[in-house]
Amino acid sequence: DVLGDQSVFIENSIDEVVSTALWGGLFAILVLILFLRNAWTTVIIAIAIPLSVVSAFGALRLAGVSLNVMSLGGIALGVGMLVDNSIVVLESIFRCREEGDDPVEAALRGTREVAGAVVASTLTTIAVFFPIVFVEGIAGQIFGDQAITVVSSLVVSLLVAVLFIPMLASRPFLAGGGDLGSLV
């Protein structure tokens, strides 16, 4: 005999977290278009977000973390950090482009100039979440998956920001135009 069925509640909770994460990603892209006013910068970050999420899911699979409300919430936190790191790296690259560097040199120099700050920022956040992995008891059971998820997604977001973003920004077809000022 079934005494209680929480599966409907759990499915609804996970659906809600996924929906919220998708809306958050969409709003992040809209904010980028409004404030950066550069279509190609937005396209580069919009490509990086799903790559980071899929890679984080792969890392979670390797760590044996199941998908639940806490782990999906950790993914959402990691995506927010990805956008922050990517914007810093992209702005540095595009500043180098404005100074006259070709796309490849701008990607190399721009990333080199901010890589230390981006790595330090991400590692400090990891240093806050990583010890939660070792917490025992109920708190460890509740927050352990989220801590592993946040740490995994932050590592992936750091790699995407310092490796993938410069690679895309160095491509001439993406490094070129895209200024939305002429459209607005």
- The confidence band for 176, taking pLDDT boundaries of 50, 70 and 90, is low
So what's the pLDDT on residue 174? Answer: 59
Q: Give the torsion sign (CA, 59, 63, 67, 72).
A: negative
> What gap in Å lies between CA 124 and CA 121, rounded to an integer?
5
Question: What is the CA 72 to chain-centroid distance, rounded?
Answer: 13
Neighbours of 18 (CB within 10 A): 14
- The confidence band for 157, taking pLDDT boundaries of 50, 70 and 90, is confident
> What gap in Å lies between CA 116 and CA 123, rounded to an integer?
10
Share of the chain above pLDDT 90, in %: 22
Q: In terms of Cα–Cα distance, which of 60, 64, 51 is closest to 157? A: 51
Query: Does 52 have pLDDT greater than 90?
Result: no
So what's the pLDDT on residue 171? Answer: 82
What is the 3-state secondary structure of 85-142? HHHHHHHHHHHHHHCCCCHHHHHHHHHHHHHHHHHHHHHHHHHHHHHHHHCCHHHHHH
- The confidence band for 66, taking pLDDT boundaries of 50, 70 and 90, is confident
Sequence-distant (≥ 6) Cβ neighbours of residue 137 within 8 angstroms: none
pLDDT tens digit string along 94-152?
Answer: 899 889 999 999 999 999 999 999 999 999 999 998 998 888 888 887 888 888 888 88
So what's the pLDDT on residue 173? Answer: 63
**Phi, psi (rounded to 5 degrees) for 38:** -140, 115
Average pLDDT over residues 22-44: 80
So what's the pLDDT on residue 182? Answer: 36
Kindly report whether the global pTM for this prediction surpasses the value 0.85: no
Contact 153, 78 (CB under 8 A): yes
Share of the chain above pLDDT 70, in %: 93
**Least confident stretch, 52-61, 67-76, 171-180:** 171-180
Is the pLDDT higher at 63 or at 162? 162
pLDDT tens digit string along 68-93?
Answer: 778 877 877 777 777 788 889 988 99
